[in-house]
Amino acid sequence: MKTSIVILTFNQLEYTKKCIDSIRQYTKKNEYEIIIVDNNSTDGTNSWLKEQHDIKTIFNKENVGFPKGCNQGIAVSTGDNILLLNNDVIVTSNWLDNLVQCLYSQNEIGAVGPITNNVSNYQAISVNYHSETEMQLFAETVNKFNPKLWEERLKLVGFCLLIKRSVLEQVGLLDEQFSPGNFEDDDLSYRIRLAGFRLILCKDTFIHHFGSVSFKQDNSRYAALLKENGNKFADKWGFDSSYFSLIRFEVAALADSPEDIPLTILEVGCACGGTLLHLKNKYKKASLYGIEINKAAARSAALFAEVSDQNIEELELAYPQNFFDYILLTDVLEHLQNPWMALTTFKQYLKPYGKLLVSIPNVMHFSVIKKMLQGCWTYEAAGILDKTPLHFFTLYEIDKTFKELGYCVQEYRMTTSPETEQDSDFIKKVTQLMGDPNLAQQYRANQYIFAAKLKPPISLVFLLRRIEHDIDKAQTLNTLMEFIESGVFSTNDIIQVTENDMVKKEELLQTIAVCCYEHKLTESALTLLENAYQRDKQDPITAYHLACILSKTGKTEVALGLLNQLKQKDAKILELIAKIKEVLHESK
């Protein structure tokens, strides 16, 4: 199988040399061809290319742009696959092997791409290397074939994009209206998906990317080009690719179910489905549902989810009651005419242990207060004072609303924005004026991110106090187990209430953990015992129970380490140490 690597050049010869050298060094011979289309370089690139006998070349007399140049290269290619590659890239060990293996792992995969250090679309990761040598060593630790690290995406960036030739023949080449470049990869990605193929990001493949070397030499022109081509994409497909393809990682992170169980997830305002698809990558058995008023964006999400393209406030929900594990409301409630009615409606569709995953902008942000004190309440194209919200919320109003409607929120997280020294001074002065130092954080919050669940039919504090004071202990423990099994209470709930409201903290956690283990809730038991252990690492009862469970789940060496560090060991613990050592000896 051969891959045609198509590279465009426009000056930047030193980057091109690094790119070609790395391909020659880290790619198997006879499995690729290099095609370079030069867009009228003036820095000696042409002369250098003419000296390279293993490269097919096309020399344009003018800069025809990225999409047209790529199409020229594809037209003369002979490979089974086409790989679009920027010339400011350095490839690494196993890079192409990994990408090709992923591309052909399933018939429905149409294109794949790697991760890197510098690119958009959530394909970049943090790195700490400082030289090309260090980079290659870093890549060796990443580039180990691992299908578990593949993620389906809405789009892939064209800096390194591997596509089956058969797919390109079906969907067509790059759309040249996006010349000189930008958004042609968004467009191609969408056409590939509309044809029924999937796009995969290979997180087991890393290459280095210097990043838009040609375009970003003129930042103002680059920004204007992004805007112009973004508008072209929106005119063609009916939605803003940048906005409607966002992935709300911080909201999705609130989903805390075990990854191997079937879930039902609804996102209201799902756009093209980026966040839903991210959740599907984590929860393979999840059934996805969406509601999106933009019909063009809903078409994208409907490629992998069951989507309704109507207004949530005008739609009679056709879902069964007690159906959803999670309902996502990312920047939705402030846009509804009656968010209180919507929150009331959602209650009947949540499972008893289900959760709303919510983000809401904070109108109490210092930037809004500062402008308001200057007499300004000016609506903007984007941000907290976006032109589209119908309602504004503060933390107090959010908390009050959800409590009054029968929800409980365990924790409020927040996003922040950079602040200048003057901003910090303003926050300090306003906080001093109000006389409440706790308000400072509320002035800094751009958005509040939180999970809300229905108030349980019985108080967790009440149950734990009965267990703590040995009141009908066995029956109360059984009741608690039922609530844990059904998801009404989580181990985090138990830990938080124990911390805030209980006296015999370690003893209570030990008791509940043992009962969890007896009910085959092993992960819950471990979480509770690990919390108790962190409170007192010399408590022999905690160490004994934790070591027992760890040894029975195959973590015998960890269990032995816990017991060995105890300063005082009674006969029971010494006996367990001997049993664990015997198991370790037999396993060698």
- State the average pLDDT over residues 173-190: 96
Which pLDDT value is given to residue 259?
92
Which pLDDT value is given to residue 529?
95
Question: CB atoms < 10 A from the CB of 525, how many?
Answer: 26
What's the token pair of residue 3? 């891959």
| Span of 354-368, 371-385, 429-443 with lowest mean pLDDT | 371-385
CA angle 455, 456, 459 (to 5 degrees): 110
- Let me know if 118 is exposed, middle or buried by CB neighbors in 10 A (0-12, 13-18, 19+): middle
CATH code, domain with 550: 1.25.40.10
Nearest Cα to 19, choosing from 120, 95, 115? 95
Residue type, 282: K
Q: How far apart are CA 136 and CA 419, in angstroms?
A: 37
- State the average pLDDT over residues 529-555: 93
Same domain? 437 vs 288: yes
How many whole angstroms from its chain centre is CA 370?
Answer: 33
CATH code, domain with 400: 3.40.50.150
Residue 213 has pLDDT above 70, yes or no: no
- State the average pLDDT over residues 362-386: 92
Same domain? 304 vs 434: yes
Structural domains in the chain (count): 3
Same domain? 195 vs 255: no
| Span of 217-226, 344-353, 525-534 with lowest mean pLDDT | 217-226
Domain boundary, last residue among 193, 223, 243: 243
How much is the pTM? 0.81
Residue 147: asked if its preceding bond is cis (omega within 30°), the reply is: no
Domain boundary, last residue among 243, 276, 308: 243
- State the average pLDDT over residues 194-215: 90
Residue 435: what are its φ and ψ, rounded to 5°? 75, 20
Residue 360 has pLDDT above 80, yes or no: yes
- How confident is residue 382, by pLDDT bands cut at 50, 70 and 90? confident
Same domain? 522 vs 382: no
Average pLDDT of the chain to the nearest whole number:
94
Residue 217 has pLDDT above 70, yes or no: no
- How confident is residue 316, by pLDDT bands cut at 50, 70 and 90? confident
Which pLDDT value is given to residue 212?
63
Which pLDDT value is given to residue 113?
98
Which pLDDT value is given to residue 486?
72
DSSP code, position 217? G
- How confident is residue 96, by pLDDT bands cut at 50, 70 and 90? very high
Question: CB atoms < 10 A from the CB of 249, how many?
Answer: 11
Residue 302 has pLDDT above 70, yes or no: yes
Nearest Cα to 133, choosing from 208, 223, 224? 208
How far does the chain reach from its first CA to its final CA, in angstroms? 44
Measured in residues, the chain has a length of 588
Residue 139: what are its φ and ψ, rounded to 5°? -65, -35
Residue 331 has pLDDT above 80, yes or no: yes
Domain boundary, last residue among 398, 430, 454: 454
Residue 380 has pLDDT above 80, yes or no: yes
Same domain? 200 vs 255: no
Same domain? 381 vs 236: no
| Span of 30-44, 101-115, 274-288, 377-391 with lowest mean pLDDT | 377-391
Which pLDDT value is given to residue 485?
85
The whole domain housing 499 covers: 460-587
3-state secondary structure 128-170: CCCCHHHHHHHHHHHCCCCHHHEEEECCCCCCEEEEEHHHHHH
Same domain? 231 vs 295: no
CA distances from 492 to 103, 457, 525 (A): 40, 18, 12
Which pLDDT value is given to residue 216?
53
Q: How far apart are CA 361 and CA 447, in angstroms?
A: 4
Task: Tell me the helix, strand and coil percentages in the chain, rounded to 5.
Answer: 45, 20, 35
Which pLDDT value is given to residue 221?
85
Which pLDDT value is given to residue 586?
75
Same domain? 426 vs 538: no
Element (H, E) at 535: helix 522-535
Residue type, 449: I
Q: How far apart are CA 340 and CA 157, in angstroms?
A: 40
What's the token pair of residue 318? 């056709």
CATH code, domain with 92: 3.90.550.10
Same domain? 438 vs 486: no
Q: What is the pLDDT of residues 490-503, one digit of tens each?
A: 898 899 999 999 99
Torsion angle in degrees (nearest 10) through CA of 475, 481, 486, 490: 130
Residue 117 has pLDDT above 90, yes or no: yes
- How confident is residue 588, by pLDDT bands cut at 50, 70 and 90? low
Nearest Cα to 424, choosing from 435, 432, 436? 432
Same domain? 53 vs 178: yes
Same domain? 319 vs 236: no
Q: Is the separation of the CB atoms in 90 and 132 below 8 Å?
A: yes
Q: What is the pLDDT of residues 31-70, one digit of tens each?
A: 999 999 999 999 999 999 999 999 999 999 999 999 999 9
Same domain? 326 vs 415: yes
Which pLDDT value is given to residue 512?
97
For the chain, give the percent of residues with pLDDT over 70.
98
